């Protein structure tokens, strides 16, 4: 976006220069040229002082909507049978992944079909 603004400011400055050089004693053309120069300067100034968005403070919130009746269950590892805690569960790209703290097994949690 900054490049487009600078190009627009350069065009305004060029046309301002053309109006001033080609005025040939006409006051209106000098005024238009000065206004174009002021507009070009304002565009450059506003582009430089505009605060840039910070990419470091991005917070991502995921909400999961569950259909039907939902009840809490104790989760156990498929490999060793160890009890899984909230530290073992992570969500990546919308999928639930399990990392067993006891045996180190990692797998994706899949829901069994209800039919």
pLDDT at 93 over 70: yes
pLDDT tens digits along 54-89 = 667 777 787 777 677 766 678 888 888 888 887 888
- Report the predicted TM-score, pTM, of the whole model to 2 decimal places: 0.44
74 vs 11, more confident: 11
- pLDDT given for residue 42 in this prediction: 93
Q: What is the DSSP string of 18-87?
A: HHHHT-TT-HHHHHHHHHHHHHHHHHHHHHHHSPPPPSTT-------PPPS-------B-TTT-PBP-GG
C-beta atoms surrounding 100 within 10 Å: 19
Q: Who has greater pLDDT, 36 or 97?
A: 36
SS3 99: strand
Q: Return the domain boundaries, the chain.
A: 2-49, 76-110
Render pLDDT for 12-54 as a digit per residue (tens, 0 to 9).
Answer: 999 999 999 998 889 999 999 999 999 999 999 998 888 766 6
């Amino acid at each position: 976006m900054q490049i487009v603004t600078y190009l627009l400011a350069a065009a305004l400055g060029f046309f301002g220069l053309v109006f001033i050089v080609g005025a040939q004693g006409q006051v209106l053309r000098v005024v238009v040229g000065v206004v174009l120069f002021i507009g070009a300067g304002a565009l450059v100034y506003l582009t430089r002082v505009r605060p840039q968005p910070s990419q470091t403070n991005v917070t991502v919130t995921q909400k999961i909507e569950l259909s039907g009746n939902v009840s809490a269950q104790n989760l156990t590892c498929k490999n060793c049978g160890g009890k899984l805690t909230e530290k073992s569960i992570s969500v990546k790209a919308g999928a639930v992944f399990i990392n067993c703290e006891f045996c180190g097994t990692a797998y994706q949690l899949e829901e069994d079909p209800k039919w």
